[in-house]
Amino acid sequence: MPADLSPIDKAKFVAAKRAVDYVETGMKLGLGTGSTAAWMVRCLAERIREEGIRVVGVPTSTRTAELARQLGVPVMSLDEAKWLDLTIDGADEIDAQMNLIKGGGAALLQEKIVATASDQMIVIADAAKEVGHLGAFPLPVEVIPFGWQTTKALIEETLVSMDVLNRDVTLRMNGAAPLVTDEANYILDLHLKRIGNPRQLSLVLNQIPGVVENGLFIDICDVVVIGHSDGRVAVRDINSGETSDDRIEFAPTDNIFANMDD
Ligand SMILES: O=C(CO)[C@H](O)[C@H](O)COP(=O)(O)O
């Protein structure tokens, strides 16, 4: 492992490496988006190279599709794959019930469609992503550009009607222009600080015209894999109720870092 890898990247790497152990030959996989998911794609590429496992991935963003192709992970569209065995993705926040906030990387729409079309979703993250309550991380909501300011006002009104105390809503920017998602939409970030009832908020937001999808993932995640910078990995499975802790040793021969171009 290169000496200059940050503690946070070490944590993300070990979570990704453990999650890729769940992959079996012949599987159709959802490939998440973000820095932790990028480690997962690298670990998956290594298993394809070293062990010859045969898998196909459905990427959740153009970024992930590009990385998978560069590393030799076969990809197809969700329409070609139709249904997936397993999705592995990162998250911005994870609560005790394994509800998530996602969309920090602006890919929540494809991520939610792909995860929902999977038999199982594994979330990989560093320990800082585990929270008591969702909401400190701004909740991303994907909206269509047409009338986005009206949609924003409707979201604000809805938050008032739900007695939400902190309700700043900001348009996500990319420099001087609004950030545009892979689906040509905008992202509104809801700065709520604490979300009392994530399930209700998710349902209500998706009723507002102009809202395409929100970043709350409720009852979608099956397994959470939390990595630590010293190599410890904790796994929680919501279906079996099982938890396990172990440690990943870094082999000096690991050539996975050769693929890092960022
Ligand atoms: O939801 C996401 C992208 O839309 C990411 O999974 C989330 O933002 C976590 O990213 P990272 O692994 O870089 O911390």
Question: Does residue 110 sit in the same domain as residue 23?
Answer: yes
Q: How far is the CA of 59 from the centre of ligand 1 (A)?
A: 14
Structure tokens at 97: 């019930």
Question: Does residue 113 sit in the same domain as residue 15?
Answer: yes
Q: Are 178 and 171 in contact (CB under 8 A)?
A: yes
- Taking the model in full, what pTM does it have? 0.96
Q: Whose CA is nearest to atom 7 of ligand 1?
A: 91
Read off the pLDDT of residues 205-219 as tens digits, 9 standing for 90 and up: 999 999 999 999 999
Evaluate whether residue 105 is within a structural domain: yes
Question: Does residue 210 sit in the same domain as residue 225?
Answer: no
Q: How far is the CA of 149 from the centre of ligand 1 (A)?
A: 26
* Sign of the dihedral through C-alpha 104, 165, 98, 110: negative
Question: Does residue 95 sit in the same domain as residue 223?
Answer: yes
Read off the pLDDT of residues 88-140 as tens digits, 9 standing for 90 and up: 999 999 999 999 999 999 999 999 999 999 999 999 999 999 999 999 999 99
> Is the CB of residue 60 below 6 angstroms from any atom belonging to ligand 1?
no
CATH number, position 161: 3.30.70.260
Question: Does residue 124 sit in the same domain as residue 225?
Answer: yes
Question: How many domains are contained in the chain?
Answer: 2
> Residue 191 is part of which domain span?
139-214
Evaluate whether residue 228 is within a structural domain: yes
Question: Does residue 48 sit in the same domain as residue 117?
Answer: yes
- Ligand 1 atom nearest the C-alpha of 38 is 12
Residue 250's nearest CA partner among 8, 6, 17, 37 is 17
> Is the CB of residue 32 below 6 angstroms from any atom belonging to ligand 1?
yes
Question: Does residue 150 sit in the same domain as residue 120?
Answer: no
CATH number, position 126: 3.40.50.1360
> Is the CB of residue 87 below 6 angstroms from any atom belonging to ligand 1?
no
Q: Whose CA is nearest to atom 3 of ligand 1?
A: 105
Number of C-alpha atoms within 13 angstroms, CB side, residue 231? Answer: 7
